[in-house]
Structures are given as structure tokens and as C-alpha cells.
Amino acid sequence: MKETNVTKLVKIALIGALYAVLTLAVAPISFGTVQFRVSEALMVLPLFSPLGIWGVVFGCFFSNLVGFLAGINPTGLIDSAVGTLATLLAAASVYGIGRSPLPSPAKALLSPIPTILFNGAIVGAELAYVFGGEPGQSFAAAWAFQGVSVAAGELAVCYTLGMALAFAFYRAGLYKKLFPSAKTA
């Protein structure tokens, strides 16, 4: 059965809403110089469908914006643009891994790497720009510190919760039920 555009939009909105709820529910650890975004586990969804890309991008933008408006996102509006760009690049790369001829376990194991690298580099630079570093510390040193901090949080979430989600989707065939237009995963 072919998915309608309305069905696709609903799935994107649901993924985005889930991302935002998971981010905002644990806001103290989702924003700031040390981040542990539980919602980043959803970054495996682009392995299965391009709907996953737009869902996590929408969720990231929305949670960063709501976080700013609620006063819990100290990086401000810049995070809505810069953090969302990092998520878009990572999600598109994860989608590319999902389309590769690799076996499913390899795809799942490789899928967190773009998320870790893009968020570490881009969000790390954002945090270094917004918060700076120690007095006398260069921007490059602050960027390196912030990037490693963000990448470590991404690594922890993506290789625990994200892997559990990816393997559950593969094992139970959930991706076929949620994303019937997925060619192969």
C-alpha cells in the first residue's frame, strides 16, 4: 500500500514531537556545555526512511526554539539554526548509510558516527563561540573541548539507546511496518 502525503507528514510530525518531548523532558542535560540528549537515539530512524531525516530535523529545530523561548536553552536562537544544521547533515549521512549495500548490523553500528562527528564539530564550535573558553584560551582550544564534550554525549546516547532502537527495528521488522515505502534496510 502506497503511503499518502498526509500519512508521511503525520509520521514526520510524530517523530519530531517525540524528539522534542525527549529533549525537553530532560532539559537540564539536553542543553548547555555538557549535553546528553536522549532524543538523539532517534537519529537511527533515517537508516530506514527519509521521513526520519525530516522528523529529527523538525524535532531538533522545535526543541531548540522552545528551549530558547522557555529560557532553558542558554545558547539562544543560534542553536535553532546551527544545531538544526548539524542534525540535518548527520541525518542525511545516516540515510546514506541506510542505502548502502552493507548488511543491517553494519549499518546499525555505523549509523551513530555521522551524528557524533557533525554534532561534535558543529555544535562544539557553536558552544565555543557562545560560551568561549577559559580566560586566555584560544577559540580552537575551546572548540576542541566543547566538541569532545558534545561528541562524548552523542557517543553515549547513540551507542546505547540508539543501537537498542535500531536492532529492535531490524529484529522485529518494525521498519517495514512504520516505513512501508522503505526499499531495504
**pLDDT tens digits along 47-100:** 999 999 999 999 999 999 999 999 999 998 999 999 999 999 999 999 999 999
Task: With beta carbons less than 8 A apart as the criterion, state whether 125 and 143 touch.
Answer: yes
What's the domain range around 154? 5-178
Give 133's pLDDT tier (boundaries 50, 70, 90). Answer: confident
For residue 144, tell me if it sits in a domain: yes
CATH number at residue 151: 1.10.1760.20
> Tell me, what's the pLDDT at 1?
61
For residue 69, tell me if it sits in a domain: yes
Task: Provide mean pLDDT across the span 32-56.
Answer: 93
Task: Provide mean pLDDT across the span 158-185.
Answer: 79
> Tell me, what's the pLDDT at 78?
95
The number of distinct structural domains making up the chain is: 1
Task: Provide mean pLDDT across the span 103-132.
Answer: 94
Cell digits of residue 22: 525527549
For residue 29, tell me if it sits in a domain: yes
> Tell me, what's the pLDDT at 169?
84
